[in-house]
Amino acid sequence: MTKQIEDYITENLFEENRIIALEYIDFLKNMGIEFYKDDGDCWKNKIYYWLKFKDECVAFIAIKDPDEPENLWTVWSEDSKAFENDIPELEIKETAWKYIDFGHCGSCKKIIFGKAFEGVCGTTFRIDNPSRSELPFLRKMVEICIRYISDSGSSFSY
């Protein structure tokens, strides 16, 4: 039987990290997200998942990446125009801006929830070892991508 992401979480994360990660995975599954383990050259022998909705990537999750031993698990957003539009929830925006992934790869200028930023990585957001307080943002990040994909990005507005 092929291991599922929940198996890797249960084996590699403990206490509150495990609870939060499993809660997030449950939310994602309820939203219709599918999980694809990446075993390509870059991620061989690592626990790295693509999170997809309607065959479009919305985020990535790594669990106990040996190249980053300080991080038990990491969530990255996919680069999406969905994050350009302003949103009304100030708390979500401020959390998002706190987790912009600056300069780790393919740095460029991006508009993120109505505000311009320089030197942003292609994945836009990176959250290492998410805590319970970051779950609302992680959920909203996926909800916004799902809505954007469902609307085919054509007339998307928040």
pLDDT tens-digit readout, 7-43: 999 999 999 999 999 999 999 999 999 999 998 887 8
Q: What does pLDDT average to over the chain? A: 90
Class of residue 156 by CB neighbours under 10 A (exposed 0-12, middle 13-18, buried 19+): middle
Which pLDDT does position 9 carry in this prediction? 98
Range 76-98 average pLDDT: 90
Residue 32, phi then psi, degrees to nearest 5: 90, 15
Cα distance between residue 72 and residue 63, in whole Å = 6
Per-residue pLDDT, 158:
46
